[in-house]
Amino acid sequence: MTTVAEQRFPRSMRLKRRRLIAPLFERSASDTKSLVAGSIRILYRFVPRSTTGADTPIQVGFAPGRCRNAVQRNRIRRQMREAWRRNQNLIGFEALPAAETLTLMVLRRSPDRNDRLSQDLLQAMHLLHQSLNKRD
């Protein structure tokens, strides 16, 4: 059982800098990896900690994609952040390299699968954990 303190998602863990987000979407970047689970796609790469501006092992951004209106888009973004916050301990921050920060973007691919959003994100986090363990 995890405590509330372990489930926090502080601002320092949010991916906000454009210079860190843009390389995740460059098709020519060979250091960016991608994985898909249901309606969720995760793009991730490792960057030196000095470039992030925060001393955190991971920074996460959320992009809900196209929605009918801003209210729905913000609700989906909140749901994605909450699902990440509750299950972030699955990643295993202690196994990440000390000199690097894992930057990742969580994207919603399918607009009609909002009811399975948290299950798909949980499955994607398991795949990410397996992929990071293979890296070692």
> Rounded to two decimals, what is the model's pTM?
0.86
pLDDT band at 136 (very low <50, low <70, confident <90, very high): low
The hierarchical CATH code for the domain 5-135 is: 3.30.230.10
Per the structure block, which two tokens stand in for 59?
A: 């920074």
Residue-wise pLDDT for 44-76, tens only, equals 999 998 888 888 889 999 998 888 889 989 999
Domains in the chain: boundaries? 5-135
- What one-letter code names the amino acid at 19? R
Name the DSSP letter for residue 35: E
pLDDT tens for residues 10-30?
888 899 999 999 999 988 878
Do 9 and 82 contact (CB within 8 A), yes or no?
no
Task: Kindly write down the DSSP assignment for every residue of 51-104, as one continuous string.
Answer: GTSS--SEEEEEE----SSHHHHHHHHHHHHHHHHHHGGGS-GGGS-TTEEEEE
DSSP character at residue 14? B
